[in-house]
A and B are shown apart, each in its own frame.
Chain A
Amino acid sequence: MAKIKGSIVVDKEKCKGCGLCVVACPQDVIALAKEVNSKGYNFAYMVKPDACIGCANCAEVCPDSIITVYRTKI
């Protein structure tokens, strides 16, 4: 069975750390970082990159359109 593998790229300088992507992710891939970006927001990052399925739910709910989603079959 072909396995789907996804990945996201977050523009962390534009991230405002609202956390909507964290709850939207069905695989719990995303978390807010302990570090902050130059504006002082805890930006989103992939805490479990291997679990990402590239469903793009996080990007759909992102108010600032800063998430790019990639998906491939391996």
Chain B
Amino acid sequence: MAETIDIIKDENIVYQKSKVLTDNVMHYCPGCSHGVVHKLIAEVIEEMGIQENVIGVSPVGCSVFAYNYLDIDWQEAAHGRAPALATATKRLMPDKYVFTYQGDGDLASIGAAEILHACNRGENITVIFINNAIYGMTGGQMAPTTLVGMKTATSPYGRDIDLHGYPLKMTEIVAQLPGTCYVTRQSVHTAATVRKCKKAIRKAFENQEKKIGTSFIEVTSTCNSGWKIPPVEANKWMVDHMFKFFEQGDLKDAERDNPDDYKKYIE
């Protein structure tokens, strides 16, 4: 035990809470992926040293209180309209880093038009899309992204294709638009995927400096309360069920796919 106490010194710290995060206790349920993504954004902002130059646009949904947890400038958008507000912010202040943080109920249903047109115009913003296949805040109703057969409060016998239609793959749709430069789908259920997701967020913020279009990051995440599964099992459920439909990885990367066009953009 004496040895353990010796280790706990400031010079031995290898990982601590980011300074961009505030000391407020997050209101999210235990094990919610929102907390991890907030932390990753905070770490990226801290590493890039852009805390004074970032403007976030928070959505309607559980993450509506994101402004309580990240110590940066925020704007609050009407439901689904975060990309429209981010467009205005970025056009008025092109030197700032502007990102939106949206859930699937916000981005994929009521805000579907805003996100499609913002991506199609190629606004230089970063969009972080938290996809947990359910409306978490309002009590676990069916969302556009709910999987076929998945039970929710409003589809108690499972999502039926005849009745409710097919789940929506927003990320695949956005990847086809010429305005986007980086479209990827990540997750934050293990330490390895957390690190990969952080790299993706960093790249998305750096793309704003290069002015090459919209960066879109989907984070496949869990909703323990809405799914009614404990946190650890929820992660397993996500891997077993959601990953089959929402395939992980980069869908589009301008730097990788079209190096010639990409160079022209930078010049």
Please list the residues of chain A having a beta carbon within 8 angstroms of any beta carbon in chain B. 5-7, 9, 14, 16-20, 22-24, 41, 46, 49-50, 54-57, 59-72, 74
Contacts and interface: CB of A to CB of B under 8 A. Distances in A.
Contacts, number: 98
B264 interface: no
B103 to A, nearest CB: 15
B189 to A, nearest CB: 8
B8 interface: yes
A74 B224 CA distance: 41
Interface residues of B, number: 38
B7 A63 contact: no
A40 to B, nearest CB: 11
Contacts of A7: 4, 7-8
A59 B40 CA distance: 12
B132 to A, nearest CB: 13
Chain B interface mostly helix, strand, loop or mixed? Answer: mixed
A18 B36 CA distance: 13
Given A16-B31, A61-B191, A5 B17 contact: no
B15 A14 contact: no
B91 interface: no
B39 to A, nearest CB: 5
Contacts of B3: 5, 50, 74
B31 A5 contact: no
Nearest to B21: A65
B14 interface: yes
A49 to B, nearest CB: 5
